[in-house]
Amino acid sequence: MISEKIECIQGDITKISADAIVNAANSSLMGGGGVDGAIHRAGGPSILEECRKIVAKQGGCKTGEAVLTTAGDLPSRHVIHTVGPVWNGGTHDEEQLLANCYKNSLHLAADHQLRTIAFPNISTGIYGFPKDMAAAISVQTLNQILQTDNRIDKVFLVCFDDENYDLVTQELGK
Ligand code: AR6
**Above 90 in pLDDT, residue 75?**
yes
82 Cβ inside 6 Å of ligand 1: no
Contacts of 98 (CB under 8 A, 6+ apart): 64, 84, 85, 122, 123, 129, 134, 137, 138
The partner residues of 159 in beta bridges, in order of sequence, read 10
Spot the catalytic one: 12, 19, 36, 111. 36
61 Cβ inside 6 Å of ligand 1: no
E strand or H helix that includes residue 59: none
Residue 140 alpha carbon to ligand 1 centre in Å: 20
Task: Confirm if 83 and 30 have CB atoms less than 8 A apart.
Answer: no
Domain boundaries, the chain: 6-172
Residue 36 is a catalytic residue? yes
CATH homologous superfamily, domain 6-172: Leucine Aminopeptidase, subunit E, domain 1 (3.40.220.10)
Which residue minimizes the CA distance to atom 34 of ligand 1? 125
Q: What is the pLDDT of residues 146-174, one digit of tens each?
A: 999 999 999 999 999 999 999 999 999 98
Amino acid at 76: S
Confidence (pTM): 0.98
C-alpha–C-alpha distance, residues 40 and 35, integer Å: 9
